[in-house]
Structure formats: C-alpha cells, structure tokens
Amino acid sequence: MTKTILRALAGEALPTPPIWMMRQAGRYLPEYRATRAEAGDFLSLCYTPDLAAEVTLQPIRRYNFDAAILFADILLVPQALGLDLWFVTGEGPRLSTVTTADQVAALKPTDAIHDTLSPVYETVRILSRELPQDTTLIGFAGAPWTVATYMVAGRGTKDQGPAHAMIAADRAAFRALIDRITDATIAYLSAQIEAGAEVVKLFDSWAGSLQGDDFTEFSLEPARKIIAALKARHPGIPVIAFPREAGDRYIGFARATGADCVALDNSVSADWAAANVQKDGCVQGNLDPRHMVTGGADLVAETRRIVDAFRGGPHIFNLGHGITPDANPDNVALMIETVRGA
C-alpha cells in the first residue's frame, strides 16, 4: 500500500490525516540533546551522517510519525557556495555576507557545492535504508528568499531589513543572488532525491515580509523554477512549499508554483484555508506550536478542530511552524493520539 503521506500529496482525502512535525528532531527531546553533545557542535552533527541519521530516527522511534524529515540546516547551502558559517551559542547562526554584485559573482559555481554537501546525501542514504517501510522520508532546503536574507545580513534579522535594503539599492545584484541560490537549491534537492528522499519541502520562512511584486519575484517565482526543474528531472516527485505568513497569497500558490502541497502557518485559520487553499490540493498544518508547551484540553480541542476543518480534502497534519525547545514531549504524544483518534 502506498504510504499515507504520498497518498495525501497525490490528492487523496484520508479518514485519518498523516502526521509529522517541523523540527521533530530537536532540542525538546532528551535523546537529541545527548546526541548533540556527542557530536560536539551543531555543524558537526549536521555533517556526521551516522549522528544526523540517528537524530532523524529518534522521533520516529518515540512517536511513529508518518514521515521523517532529514536533519540538516538551511544554511548549509550558503556554506557550500563559499560563505563562512558558524553558530554562536544562545544567539544562532552567523555567516560572512554577500551584499554586492562582485560578491555574488564570487560565489562558488553550482556544480562545486556537492563536495561540501556530500555528508548530507549520505545521511539520506542511511535513512532510506533504516526507516520503517511505512515511513516517508522528506528532504528539504531553504527557499531562495529566506536563504538570501541570511546571506545578506550575516544572521537572522527581525524584519529581513538588510535584504530589503539590497533590493532597493541594487535590484539586479539581488536578483542575481536569488538566481544563484535557486540553481544551487535545484542541485541540492535533486541530489537528496537521488539518495532516497521521497518528498522534498521548500521552507520560505520569511516569505511574509515580501510585498506585491517582490513576493512574486523573490518567493513565488523561485519556487516555481525549483519545482519545475525537480519534476523534469524526477517525474512524480512530490514537493511541499511553505511560504510562511503569506496570508491571502497562500491562495493560488500551489497552482502558480506547481507545488503538490502548501504548508500553512498558524496565522491563518484552518476554516479559511480549507475554503481558499485546500480546493487546489493538499494542505499541511497548522497547529500553533505553543500547544506543544501548554498541552491540556486546549491542545486536544484545537487539534480536533483542525482535523475537522480539513476533513473534506487532502491534509497532512503538522504544526504551523517548528516545535520549540521548551515543548513537552508528552504533549507531542497527546497531539498524535488526538489526530489518530479524531
């Protein structure tokens, strides 16, 4: 029998939605923290295939999710393109920056990224062997706009201001940067698929800060190019797109990009999304991650409400964003029990 997530991505409305969780391998799990300590630092964990596979498998063993998502980081691509990448404890990632046309031109060519990223592909190969037969393996990458915001600023920013400033100062240079990331992302995801990923997901975490034509040019259009290229190389491969906080621009995003599923953040209601987004195909989401911290009756009620809202069409249950480090693992179990019993 075809795996449940693949059935949902193909447009089938299932009596019980398949379920996985963004950042399901992460700091809320004690077994993750133990493996992270063994690795020594975050990048070593990402680039050590046995350990990266282990933390990917941990939530599957504990919860039996319907899918595992590769453990990696969206900033490995800019590192592979030649930027320095490091993590500051308690503060997050830091990158050397790209802010001029000359710096864009100096990035490594796309065909050179695989040397750096080869451990990631080995992680995928390990997972494709070791995951349970009914568990779908999801690969992923950051979408070009979101990756670009880090490359321009050298870090995460509240409003992605540095990237918007580069657009205003030299739109052609920023467009060239987006094109370079787009090409690298196609190559990266294609290699994940060749290694065994059955689905891939594009995370555009900062799509909501783009307005008007900028949203079309820097979020929607790169997603369309990536999805078209992947489907040309790998016919039938499903792609999930996540233009986080897109609001009304979720409407028609699947049609415009060719995505098989649109992941929804929790700033839109499930009822609204069922009426306006799910009509075009599969949707994923969209429980507020705070329920993984607070738990209780509110978690159960909201989970049931989302399942009921999307019952009329293809749906993959997930959070509206990644689970947070302060989440209670028992609340994850309660959420899964509620979904599967709803």
For the whole model, what pTM was predicted? Answer: 0.97
What pLDDT band is residue 1 in, cutting at 50, 70 and 90? low
For residues 235-250, average pLDDT:
98
Helix (H, G, I), strand (E, B) or coil at 105: helix
User: Which residues face 92 on adjacent strands?
Assistant: 88
Q: Is 27 labeled as catalytic in the residue annotation?
A: yes
Q: Is 244 labeled as catalytic in the residue annotation?
A: no
The pair of structure tokens assigned to 230 is 């992947």
pLDDT digits (tens, 9 = 90+) for 308-329: 999 999 999 999 999 999 999 9
Rounded distance between C-alpha atoms, residue 297 and residue 220, angstroms: 38
Residue-wise DSSP of 243-310: ETT-GGGGTTHHHHH--SEEE--TTS-HHHHHHHTGGGSEEEEEE-TTHHHH-HHHHHHHHHHHHHHT
If one counts every other C-beta atom within 10 angstroms of the C-beta of residue 120, the result is: 25
- Catalytic entry in 32, 47, 150, 250: 150
Average pLDDT, the chain: 97
Percent of the chain with pLDDT over 70: 99
- Catalytic entry in 7, 27, 33, 175: 27
For residues 247-264, average pLDDT:
98
Q: Is 155 labeled as catalytic in the residue annotation?
A: no
pLDDT digits (tens, 9 = 90+) for 141-157: 999 999 999 999 999 99
- Where are any strands of DSSP class E within the chain? 67-69, 85-88, 92-95, 136-142, 199-204, 239-243, 261-263, 282-287, 315-319
Q: Is 255 labeled as catalytic in the residue annotation?
A: no
Which residues neighbour 248 within 8 Å (Cβ) at sequence distance 6 or greater?
none
281: left (phi over 0), alpha (psi -120 to 50) or beta: left
What pLDDT band is residue 122 in, cutting at 50, 70 and 90? very high
Listed residue (16, 30, 15, 37) closest to 61, CA to CA: 30
- Chain center to CA of 2: 23
**For residue 96, pLDDT beyond 80:** yes
Domain ranges of the chain: 71-206+213-238
What pLDDT band is residue 89 in, cutting at 50, 70 and 90? confident
- Catalytic entry in 28, 36, 244, 260: 36
- Catalytic entry in 23, 180, 224, 249: 23
Whether the CB-CB separation of 120 and 74 falls below 8 Å is answered with no
Correct CATH for 71-206+213-238 of 3.30.1490.190, 3.40.50.970, 3.40.50.300, 3.20.20.210: 3.20.20.210
For residues 123-136, average pLDDT:
98
pLDDT digits (tens, 9 = 90+) for 205-231: 999 999 999 999 999 999 999 999 999
If one counts every other C-beta atom within 10 angstroms of the C-beta of residue 169, the result is: 11
**For residue 234, pLDDT beyond 70:** yes
User: Which residues face 255 on adjacent strands?
Assistant: none
- Catalytic entry in 73, 204, 260, 265: 73
**For residue 90, pLDDT beyond 90:** no
Q: What is the pLDDT of residue 174?
A: 98
Q: What is the pLDDT of residue 175?
A: 98
Q: Is the pLDDT higher at 88 or at 97? A: 97
Q: Is 311 labeled as catalytic in the residue annotation?
A: no
What pLDDT band is residue 342 in, cutting at 50, 70 and 90? low
pLDDT digits (tens, 9 = 90+) for 41-63: 999 999 999 999 999 999 999 99
